[in-house]
A and B are shown apart, each in its own frame.
Chain A
Amino acid sequence: MDKIETNTVEKNGRRNFLKYFLSGGLAGFAAITIYPILSFLNPPKQTEVEVNSVVVGKVDDFKPGDSKIIRFGNKPVIIIRADDNKFRAFSATCTHLDCTVQYKKDEKIIWCACHNGKYDLYGKNVSGPPPKPLDKFNVAIKNDELIVSREA
């Protein structure tokens, strides 16, 4: 009687060992199959070209009230020559939901058409949904050429 019992206990022990060993092995196998797939789906970081300044063009190309959107690295930057003749540059990406803003000459504001967000000529959000002001960029004039650069 005793012998049979120990046999069953031993058998169950062996059975359990095999059960955990095999299912553990299978789970491990599944993991090492799925891990590369998930990693593959995760896009690698693209190294952005670090841009510090961009030559926009001749000062004379801009009349008071004109504006232009240029590429600064991968991002759009809006340059405005307001009626006061001063040059201003801001990130053209609306802080609300990433639309690209435009300069409204008649209202003298920077306007986002997507959700009617408005910024004043200092980039400050003045009405509508934008939560933050637009990032400022420096504008310098060298040899009659406009150069936009990141704010230090």
Chain B
Amino acid sequence: MEKKLKHIYEWVDSRVQLGDLVNFMSKKYVPVHSRSIWYYFGGVSLFFFIIQVVTGILLLFYYKGSSDLAYESIHFIMSKVQFGWLIRSIHSWSANLFILSVFIHMFSVYFEKSYRKPREMTWITGVIMFVLSLAFGFSGYLLPWNELSYFATKVGTDIVGAVPFVGETLKYFLRGGDDVTGATLSRFFGFHVALFPGIFTFLLIMHLLLVQRQGMSEPLEFKDKGKEGKKTMPFFPNFMLRDLLLWLVVLNILAILAVFFPAELGLKADPLASAPAGIQPEWYFLFMFQTLKFIPAHVLFIEGEVLGVLLFGLAGVLWLLVPVWDRKSARGQQNRLINYIGIFSVLFIIILTITGWVLK
């Protein structure tokens, strides 16, 4: 057996020079310091994405993307297909934990200022993937075509309509018409399973290639340390085995959550029914939703919603371009302003999310 494996390895090696790859892997090091734990969240996010792809493809075998059949097909998956409840519940839980993990990954990179030169492109691809993750969540939420998702989509696309100039056109495009109908479902289905995965996969490959090419970012204080002062760990096998062990733990957590808190289906969407009381978006949209609620209907001459959308849009652009305007970190200097903005953002998100939760 071992001989055979060696033979296969040699066969491939003589054609594509695997030795170079092994050499590269063995020379890759992960910095060890007091905040090394945050390095794992990129890998965990990747694992959640892989789970989403696998369970998503499985669900596609039974899901039907039309307003007449979507709800029924998911009911069928949950009640008739063997382990259908498990696959769908894992897809749903993994979606939520994916976004949580991406949040953590993004903020840890932000606070470490790992976006500074030469890693600007890694940061930018990452932020776009973060936005895409939210879009994945929003589009996937509609697919069961139940009451909650129907109204969430009505509200969500309506907010898009508040974007100045292009809002109405964008809203019409997203809905596939004036209203949320079966046409919207078909569109969201296309976004969710074809368009977004295509773009996301491309960005992910870029992101990972950049990380491989440039290596892990070292914290700022490593700059002043000599070679002896820097503690590191080989990527292969030390870091990778830890990574894999963590993936195993994550898979177990997912299984436990899916078994004890399976995904719900609720009532089928009915365009003639009124929105149920206490309706809310998914938790990761809650802070924006709550902020829009707090902004008065009119601020000076601007409509409240328009103002909210503009402010979030501006914040998003500044966030995306932080490697461009944070010149200090690029020079290897401490930049406290970045920390204050980061702490403010985290507190803002947490407090408004809790407020939204409580005021429900």
Contact = CB atoms under 8 A, between A and B. Distances in A.
8 closest pairs, A vs B, by CB?
A36-B83, A39-B82, A44-B80, A40-B83, A39-B83, A40-B87, A36-B86, A44-B81
Interface string A26-63: 00010001001101111110000000000000000000
Nearest to B248: A29
A46 to B, nearest CB: 8
5 contacts: A36-B87, A37-B54, A37-B83, A39-B83, A40-B82
Interface in B59-84: 61, 80-84
Interface in B120-140: none
B80 A41 contact: no
A14 B87 CA distance: 38
B241 interface: no
B57 to A, nearest CB: 10
Contacts of A29: 248
Nearest to A29: B248
B297 interface: no
A25 to B, nearest CB: 10
A19 B248 CA distance: 18
A29 to B, nearest CB: 7
Secondary structure type dominating chain B contacts: helix
Nearest to A39: B82
Contacts of B61: 40-41
Please tell me the size bucket of the interface on B.
Answer: 10 to 19
B183 interface: no
A44 B80 CA distance: 6
A44 B82 contact: yes
Interface of B: 54, 58, 61, 80-84, 86-87, 248, 251
Secondary structure type dominating chain A contacts: helix
Given A39-B82, A40-B81, 8 more contacts: A36-B82, A36-B87, A37-B83, A39-B83, A40-B82, A40-B86, A43-B81, A44-B81
Nearest to B82: A39
A29 B249 CA distance: 11
B333 to A, nearest CB: 47
A40 B54 CA distance: 12
Contacts of A37: 54, 58, 83, 87
A40 B84 CA distance: 6
A41 B87 CA distance: 11
Nearest to A44: B80
A41 B58 contact: yes
Contacts of A33: 251
Nearest to B81: A44
Contact of A40 (B58, B248, B251): B58
Contacts of A36: 82-83, 86-87
Interface string A124-151: 0000000000000000000000000000
A40 B58 CA distance: 8
Contacts of B84: 40
Contacts of A44: 80-82
Contacts of B81: 40, 43-44
Contacts of B54: 37
A40 B91 CA distance: 14
B85 to A, nearest CB: 10
Nearest to A46: B80
A44 B81 CA distance: 6
A40 B88 CA distance: 11
A42 B84 CA distance: 11
**Max chain B Cβ within 10 angstroms of own Cβ: one of A29, A40, A41, A44:** A40
Contacts of B251: 33
